[in-house]
Amino acid sequence: MSQNLTLRRPDDWHLHLRDGAMLQAVLPETTRHFARAIIMPNLVPPVVTGAQAAAYRDRILAVLPDGADFTPLMTLYLTEDTDPDDVAAAHASGLVSAVKLYPAGATTNSASGVANFDKVRGVLERMAQIGLPLCLHGEVTDPAIDIFDREAVFIDRVLDPIRRATPGLRTVMEHITTRDGVDYALSQENLGATITTHHLIINRNHILVGGIKPHYYCLPVAKREDHRLALRAAATSGDPRFFLGTDSAPHTDALKENACGCAGCFTATNTLSILAHVFEEEGALDRLEAFTSLNGPAFYGLPVNDGTITLSRGDTVTYPEKIDTEDGPVTVFDPGFPLTWSVTA
């Protein structure tokens, strides 16, 4: 028997679209269901100035599918040379919705990120003054720290000191992966935390048991099962501090399936089907709309979307295994179980 669920049209508060041929191929996978998305600035070279953000936004809009109703919410890549005045001007014009902090070397295309946090204090103070959020990739890059502990150490060494030094700064802990991240978010005000689709599904066993699974490899890397369960509890709680940021990150199969595979899971295509499955398992379908459509706009001070989507539960849904691009195929995230929820309207 079919079941229907109508939600305000959702937003994605953490999305990688890349550029060029990849952008053109993967953009429709997001615009099909999402009204807005926070666009990550870690291109090569990165998007570090207002002028570069405007140019990137124009490239996105130029390849929107016909009839698509989608607004890219642009961000700036924080470097140790970022000009506070440029950031403030980009925000005042309505161009940028956030600034992204990557610790140098933490993830894909993060070489230009921050190594000395004292050098960005002026930018952070200006952002606090004007109400511009800071989105953080929350991992330290100290080689002495185990990769599975880097999020927890980041909270202690970097995030909490930043928030204490700049108390008015609105911050987003992006793609949290640990119980530590959940607990810190629950202890704070003026803070949001995004959770990805794939971190609700996989733990580190999925990556390593029975052979290495490159399409489950992401950064921050999936953690132990107890952390995954903490993320599911947070996402399905309805707490306004938690909202969807897919971190959908396309890489061609050639770059994923090699001796030094790129980090990232491409989930834009089937995210809503997977989330409905998770929330149904947790007995929380009535809180799916808060996670996908309400909590994010509330944090960013934006109105909720006027439109709606309807999810229907019925027969098993079939999604393409891969998205073809001029650069090569991109594998769609496989949750490892049948999906029976689909967007029907």
- Asked if 53 and 42 touch (Cβ cutoff 8 Å), the reply is no
> Cα-flanking dihedrals φ and ψ of residue 32, to 5°?
-60, -35
Query: How far is 342 from 317, CA to CA, in rounded Å?
Result: 7
Tokens (6 digits) for 179:
């119980």
341-343 and 308-313: which strand pairing? antiparallel
**In angstroms, what CA-CA distances link 174 with 129, 131, 214, 328?**
22, 18, 22, 28
**In angstroms, what CA-CA distances link 42 with 112, 257, 266, 272, 334?**
9, 22, 16, 25, 25
| H/E stretch holding 148 | none
Count other C-beta atoms under 10 Å from residue 180's C-beta: 20
Residues marked active site are found at 247
Query: How far is 5 from 313, CA to CA, in rounded Å?
Result: 8
Tokens (6 digits) for 19:
């550029």
The torsion angle over the Cα atoms of residues 271, 276, 281 and 283, rounded to 10 degrees, is 140
